Amino acid sequence: MSKMEFLLRFTISHPDMTTTIVGTSNPEHLKSNLAAAAKGPLPIDLYNEAKQRLTETVPSRYERTARLDRSTNDVKDITGAPKR
């Protein structure tokens, strides 16, 4: 399975995903994408393993948008979003 096939099938495997937007100007890539999508979602065990590995390596949204100020032990928002 190619990386592109895996990524496309991983995306369509997500239970809350209803649409995937894939763009290409290369007819061969389009054929490959359609063939991969026609295979359907990944087997559930492969999807769960990939999701677990992704969860372990990618910081959560909270970790990406907040940072601990060690001098005060306060959590600081680093997105620049206004406080509510």
Q: Mean pLDDT, to the nearest integer, of 11-22?
A: 86
- Whether 47 and 13 have beta carbons less than 8 Å apart is answered as yes
Across the range 37-56, mean pLDDT stands at 91
Rounded to 5 degrees, φ, ψ at 3 are -60, -40
pLDDT over threshold 90, residue 83: no
For residue range 62-77, list pLDDT tens digits in order: 555 556 566 666 655 5
Task: Give burial (CB, 10 Å; 0-12/13-18/19+) of 71.
Answer: exposed
